[in-house]
Structure formats: structure tokens, C-alpha cells
Homo-oligomer: A and B are copies of this chain.
Amino acid sequence: MKIKAIQDYYPEELSYCYGCGGLNERGHQIKSFWHGDETVSHFTPKEYHIAIPGYVYGGLIASLIDCHGTGTAALASYRTEGREPGTKPPFRFVTASLQVDYLKPTPLGIELELRGKVVELKGRKVISEITVSANGIITARGKVIAVQMPENLIKEK
């Protein structure tokens, strides 16, 4: 059985996000999973996701961090409540603040790995720190402040 990503549990009408919505055919369809106490996501940029020749566009890196951050927030919230993703009510977060430090150019043409750690989970707010690695070398670091969406915006399946 294939393990589902947290994004596969998002309510259908909230699954069109350009970064991580599984139903957005034009989008990046980022997938986030637990890996021990960290969250992980893999993504291979397209050749047109270029910044300068040979390197990945910083806006795409920000997008990956953004969506892996909200995915991490949802994963952590289910775990904190002792519930499995897919149980109700669903958790779906939006981004309040995003910080990205580009430590070195990220090479284009290979799979990138994102790793997330929750540094604060309090009420409706989850703060996570995310790294982006290429060939095992961290090229960018991000911090995402995610807040839970108001329930009235979530129509359950």
C-alpha cells in the first residue's frame, strides 16, 4: 500500500493550491510525509524553473518551503491530537509569514530534498523550519509561520 502524503488528505475544494494541490494539473503537487520526527518532501524542478544558468529559481524554492511548511503544520497537528490524517475535522493551514535564506545556488536538474522540523505548535499556529538540500548539501533554509484556516472556509467531503 502506498503511503499517502498529507496533501492527499486535504479536503477536495482545498486541493487546488498551485504549490501542493493534488488536483491542480498546472501546479507543483508537492507531497509531504513524516520521516521520524522530521517531515520530508522530494521535488525535481523542471528545466524552465531556472534562475541563472544551472541553478534553480529562488521563487520556486520559496514555494516548496511554503507548501512543505503548511503540510508540516498539518502533519504535526494530527500527531499532537493523536489522530490519523483523514479523520475529522481536517487540518488545513495557510501561511502567515515566510522567511527564506539562500545559502548557496541550488543546482538545477536533480531531485531536491526538503526537511521540516516543528519548532512551535501553539493553538492555531505552527512554526516550522525547513531545509532544502541538493546532493546532500543544504542550499536554502526557511521558516514558515502557518495558521489554521477558519473552519467556515473548509467544507468537509
Q: Which residues of A are at the interface with B, using a C-beta cutoff of 8 A?
A: 13-14, 16-19, 21, 24-27, 46, 48-53, 57-60, 62-64, 66-67, 92, 94-102, 105, 149, 153
Min CB distance A83 to B, Å, is 22
- What residues of chain B lie closer than 8 Å to A59, measured between beta carbons? 18-19, 59-60, 62-64, 66-67
Give chain B residues whose Cβ lies under 8 Å from the Cβ of A16: 48, 50, 52-53
CB distance from A32 to the nearest CB of B (A): 14
Contacts of A21 in B (CB 8 A): 50
Find out whether the CB atom of A17 lies under 8 angstroms from the CB atom of B51.
yes
A-B contact pairs, 25 of them (CB 8 A): A13-B53, A14-B53, A17-B50, A17-B52, A17-B57, A18-B50, A18-B51, A19-B57, A26-B46, A51-B94, A52-B149, A52-B153, A58-B98, A59-B59, A59-B62, A62-B62, A62-B63, A62-B100, A63-B63, A94-B105, A97-B100, A97-B102, A98-B98, A98-B100, A99-B99
Across the interface, name the chain B residue whose C-beta is closest to A67: B59
Check A95 against B58 for contact (C-beta < 8 Å): yes
In the bound complex, residues from chain B placing their C-beta under 8 Å from that of A101 are 96-97
Q: Is the CB of B52 within 8 A of A27?
A: no
Question: In whole angstroms, how far apart are the Cα atoms of A75 and B59 in the complex?
Answer: 20
